[in-house]
Amino acid sequence: MTKPLRIALAGLGTVGAGVIRLLDTNGALIARRAGRPIEIVAVSARDRSKDRGVDIGRFAWVDDTTALAHADVDVVVELVGGSDGPALTLARATLGAGKSFVTANKAMLAHHGLELARAAEAANVALKFEAAVAGGVPVIKGLREGAAANEIERVYGILNGTCNFILSKMEAEGRDFADVLAEAQALGFAESDPSFDIDGVDAAHKVSLLASLAFGTQPAFADVAASGIRDVLAADIAEAASLGYRVRLIGLAESGPNGLFQRVHPHLVPVSHPLAHVTGATNAVVAEGNFVGRLLFQGAGAGDGPTASAVVADLIDIARGEFGPAFAMPADALLAQGPADAGDRLGRAYVRFTVADRVGVLAEIAAAMRDAGVSIESLMQRGVHADGSVLVAIVTHEGPERSVAQALERLRGSQSLVGQPLWMHILA
């Protein structure tokens, strides 16, 4: 067997410790599959004395994370996180030193992926990031390799386990968002500051990477329209269920003649669709190819085991000499495609209003919809709340999104409305 692939590991949190455990447990099997042993020889983290449940005394300790790029290793694995700062400095230094780089850092890749891909190609080394999207689910490899012969028509899915845990818990137990969020934080599914998750930013990072892989476009995180689940009520989920839908936060990307469309938004998903049955902290991604049809990738989207599995899968590829361009084609071949206008998209919508309980409110909403050219399929009104407000929900017929936006603009500032309306798209 040839000499080991020597690894430097930056970051010894949950995933970093998981990588060490995985290589310890499955080392012999991994060596057989890779054709050579994979060995960690150097590590770096903020706190050397912290008990991580694994023996790090056998590895060389490096205080300056960036110095790992110049250690006697073949590959640097970055599990530090953050779009800039030490992670980006390490990535640039590693690729500049002619060494392969493996990361789980979707934020860094969403912002700097094109630059790093070019640097990897210039140095003839690998840039791999299977763990950056959907944890242990091999969706990156699936798009980059398994579906490489296909024109992908769209890619979409449940990309944030925290949001899916919250929504499916609300669905199962009829509880409101704030209550379930607190439970998710207590269980470790949500951070103490959950903004990146619940406001859709984490999923938007992943959408930009999936879009690049699927459509051969440059990563364009700035063009992802993202909104989260803060405003979803238990009543919305109950209303959706009565209509034959389940509420899920969906990240979606499509490429067409009018540009690249990327969005993260809560959707009503028909119960007949596979994504409606994805519960808990699970991730699932759907890719629709012109020859292969619909592909579904589903599994654990986070956690030490699944994410470590994806990291080590990348290391096995590198040990085999399987590099390939980071985004499925050379960086200079990636198109700089502008954003598509969401207003031109056709679809159905669910719009929920909280309104004052008085005569004429429904007529005002209906008139705004009529004047904007929105056709209403159904309208539901629920009982009076303690504060005197009423929930009114409408489902529209298919039409341009611009019309719904115009209707809501007509209602802006109305004295009949209590708070902002909630607009959720219906997944087709």
Q: Provide the pLDDT for residue 303.
A: 84
Least confident span in 35-44, 123-132, 231-240, 352-361: 352-361
Mean pLDDT of the residues in the chain? 95
Task: Write down the pLDDT at residue 197.
Answer: 96
3-state secondary structure of 423: strand
Catalytic residues: 206
Examine domains 5-136+323-327 and 345-426 and report if their fold is the same. Answer: no
At residue 369, the pLDDT reads: 97
Does pLDDT of 208 surpass 60? yes
How buried is residue 12: exposed, middle or buried, by Cβ count under 10 Å (0-12/13-18/19+)? buried
User: CB of 7 within 8 A of CB of 40?
Assistant: yes
* CATH architecture under which domain 139-300 falls: 2-Layer Sandwich (3.30)
Q: For residues 227 and 199, is the Cβ–Cβ distance under 8 A? A: yes
Supply the Cα-derived Rg of the chain in whole angstroms. Answer: 24
DSSP string across 190-226: S-SS-HHHHTTHHHHHHHHHHHHHHHTB---GGG-EE
Q: What percent of the chain has pLDDT over 90?
A: 92
| Pairwise pLDDT comparison (187 vs 332), residue with the higher score | 332
3-class DSSP state for residue 317? helix
Closest by Cα among 352, 135, 168 to 248 = 168
Task: Give the pLDDT of residue 341.
Answer: 96
Per-residue model confidence (pLDDT) at position 302: 83
- The answer to whether the CB of 328 falls within 8 A of the CB of 156 is no
Q: What is the pLDDT of residue 388?
A: 74
Tell how strand 349-356 and strand 422-426 pair up.
antiparallel
Q: Which residue has the tokens 């994805």?
A: 278
Residue ranges per structural domain of the chain: 5-136+323-327, 139-300, 345-426
Q: Are 76 and 102 in contact (CB under 8 A)?
A: yes
Average pLDDT estimate for 398-410: 98
CB 78 within 8 A of CB 90: yes
pLDDT confidence tier of residue 301, bands split at 50, 70 and 90: confident
**Angle, helices 85-96/106-123, rounded to nearest 10 degrees:** 10
pLDDT(313) > 60: yes
- 220-245: per-residue pLDDT in tens? 999 999 999 999 999 999 999 999 99
What tokens does 405 get?
A: 């936006």
Beta strands in 309-388 (DSSP E): 346-347, 349-356, 376-384
State how far the Cα of 63 lies from the Cα of 79, in Å rounded to an integer: 15
CA 168 to chain centre: 17
> Would you state the CATH architecture of domain 5-136+323-327?
3-Layer(aba) Sandwich (3.40)
Mean pLDDT of the 265-270 span: 98
90-140: per-residue pLDDT in tens?
A: 999 999 999 999 999 999 999 999 999 999 999 999 999 999 999 899 999
What's the predicted TM-score (pTM) here? Answer: 0.95
- Return d(Cα 236, Cα 247) in angstroms, integer: 8
CB 428: neighbour CB atoms within 10 A? Answer: 10
Per-position b or e across 133-168, b if 16+ CB within 10 A of its CB: bbbbbbbbbbbbebbeebebebbbbbbbbbbbbbbb
Element holding 316 (H helix, E strand): helix 304-320
Among 57-61, 229-233, 386-390, whose mean pLDDT is lowest? 386-390
Q: What length does the chain have?
A: 428
- Could you say which DSSP state residue 374 is in? P
345-426 CATH:
3.30.70.260
What's the mean pLDDT in 43-71? 95
- b/e map 230-243, b = 16+ CB within 10 Å: ebbbbbbbebbeeb
Among residues 281, 308, 306, the alpha carbon closest in space to that of 15 is found at: 308
* H-run or E-run covering 409: helix 401-411
Q: In which band, very low, low, confident or very high, does the pLDDT at 386 lie, cut at 50, 70 and 90? A: low
Instruction: State the average pLDDT over residues 384-396.
Output: 85
Q: What is the pLDDT of residues 160-200, one digit of tens each?
A: 999 999 999 999 999 999 999 999 999 888 889 999 999 99
What pLDDT was estimated at residue 189? 84
pLDDT at 1: 54
Name the residue type at position 332: D
CA distance 388 to 370: 27
